[in-house]
């Protein structure tokens, strides 16, 4: 078990909960009422600061219902919070772009996070040929 130190900057949001067996993602909530017009972007306060354990980072992404419910998309597509962002005033925020006029209320679940171990140190070895099977094309699709 890994322990996260959480400082609640807002007393208006529900406390974080880890729901064992359902998902290993933890919901995050808006710490403010937000009204956005289509095309507007902003950072939405999430009302928490977190001290991650050494060697971990947090990944923040939308919930599966975020676009349907609020018409917003995350502007950086995935937020990464590293271990150094861990002070009392280092409040997590959610960068969004409104695709339609929308209202988000305090305590609405708008995104989710999980923690991951940092990538190990990598070294790069230049070779003449790779030994893997040739699939052709781009990525997993195999499309040229």
Instruction: Show the CA angle centred on residue 141, arms to residues 58 and 135, nearest 5°.
Output: 110
pLDDT tens digits along 87-128 = 999 999 999 999 999 999 999 999 999 999 999 999 999 999
User: Burial, 133: exposed, middle or buried (Cβ in 10 Å; 0-12, 13-18, 19+)?
Assistant: exposed
Work out the number of other CB atoms within 10 angstroms of the CB of residue 31.
Answer: 23
Please report the pLDDT score of residue 137 as a whole number. 66
Delimit the domains of the chain by residue range: 5-10+24-117
Residues tagged active-site: 82
pLDDT over 60 at 22, yes or no:
yes
Q: Mean pLDDT, the chain, as a whole number?
A: 92
3-state helix, strand, coil in the chain (%, to 5): 5, 35, 60
Please report the pLDDT score of residue 134 as a whole number. 76
Domain 5-10+24-117's class? mainly beta
């Amino acid at each position: 078990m890994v322990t996260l130190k959480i400082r609640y900057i807002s007393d208006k949001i529900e406390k974080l909960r880890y729901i064992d067996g359902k998902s290993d993602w933890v919901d995050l909530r808006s710490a403010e009422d937000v009204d956005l017009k289509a095309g507007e972007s902003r950072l939405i306060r999430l009302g928490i600061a977190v001290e991650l354990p050494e060697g971990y980072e947090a990944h923040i992404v939308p919930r599966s219902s975020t676009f349907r419910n609020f018409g917003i998309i995350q502007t950086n597509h995935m937020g990464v919070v590293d271990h150094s962002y861990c002070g009392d005033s280092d409040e997590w925020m959610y960068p969004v772009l409104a695709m339609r006029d929308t209202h988000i209320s305090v305590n609405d679940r708008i995104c989710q996070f999980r923690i991951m171990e940092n990538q190990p140190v990598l070294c790069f070895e230049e070779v003449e040929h790779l030994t893997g099977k040739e699939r052709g094309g781009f990525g997993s699709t195999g499309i040229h």
